[in-house]
Structure 1
Amino acid sequence: MGSMLRGLGCLCLCLVAAPFGQGAFEGDYHQALTKTLLYFEAQRSGKLPATQRVQWRGDSALTDGNGTGLDLTKGYFDSGDNVKFGFPMAFTITMLSWSVVEFADELKAANEFWNALDAIRWGTDYLLEAHSDVNFLYAQVGDGNSDHQCWERPEDMDTPRTTYFIDQDHPGSDLAGETAAALAAAAMAFKDSDKDYASLLLTEATQVVS
């Protein structure tokens, strides 16, 4: 479940701190970092971009958000299932963002800097859409019970795409706090490459927990 997605976020943070250019391990670290980021591309939900490197994946979950008036098609599926759980996704985006903040030079040396930013943005675009109003945040898309009873590609899934939310009457301070952390960390990651996007992320981060 979410432990795989969270674990990969931590793995990315550890790998970019590895000593690129030092002896025989250089190729191994490069390969591990690249494949970590490729995993996130394989977990993408929604209309896939032209830059998608994992070619065996196709568009999926294109109706997510129907009935809410929002586009909830992006974000990441959780590990081996087709549900989008807000908490592990937000934690992962936080870790990926700190990877860029702390180890930008190492990511650039590995030619993975922009791929890392793309991975972050695929998650934050979803989180921005999920935070549709003050004191309101979509927490999950998909029904875990029915989804976990079957094993199918996201492109073929026929399980309910139920949306779940938190608000003042349905609290979830842990999710709100982690989502705010993800948006704030991502704002720091984008502050040099896309100042407008960084500003939007920071504004939304403060509103999620206001």
Structure 2
Amino acid sequence: MFSNEMILLQKNSDNSLCGKLLTKVMVDSLSIASYNACMGRIVAAPTAGSCGIVPAAVLNVRDELGLGIDETVKALFVADIIGYIIARNATVSGAEGGCQAECGAAAAMAAGAIAVLKGAEPGVILHAAALALKNCLGLTCDSVATLVEVPCIKRNAFFAVHAIVAADLALAGIKSVIPFDEVVFAMKDTASRMPPQLKETSEGGLAITKTAKRIQRDLFEKENAHR
């Protein structure tokens, strides 16, 4: 159902407005998310639908900075802690919290990890995570035909870059007015107010557009034809 978007990005890398680093981040995030959609083995970080964000953002920044395995492990430990805090106090499930809980949590994890790679203090790390998460609030999970492909794959590219922006802002001294723990609470509150149609049921949003319905019908017809 999805095309080779990462190949198109690679071919256009010399003309990219985002530069080499962000283009590589986008390519890798699309590749990982596409591999997941093909039933490939991935690390859910924190979920399969958002699996491309943390590795694409964190590992490419690591390479850009010329850092090694020790720094990488430390950064990923912090990403894990941020993800645990969100999962413990809110949710990382699209079915429970919409895509804000999946891509939002992943972006927060990646932003915090990137701040660690840059040697940031704990306060800066939490500001990076807060900035990333609060700018995902309200994002719906409205996947087409109940598959983790559209719009999920491309969202990985957007939110991998989003994480780098959040880290850059925090590293520059820009603070989240709302602290991280309160942003997590806000995400949980937002999730509780979202209708079921916008939480992984494919009954609202993009999933009920004319094109989405046509895609779903075509897929089911092909599936039935092979039974």
**Fold shared by both chains (TM-score > 0.5):** no
Larger strand fraction of residues: 1
TM-score of the aligned structures, taking structure 2 as reference length: 0.28
Larger helix fraction of residues: 2
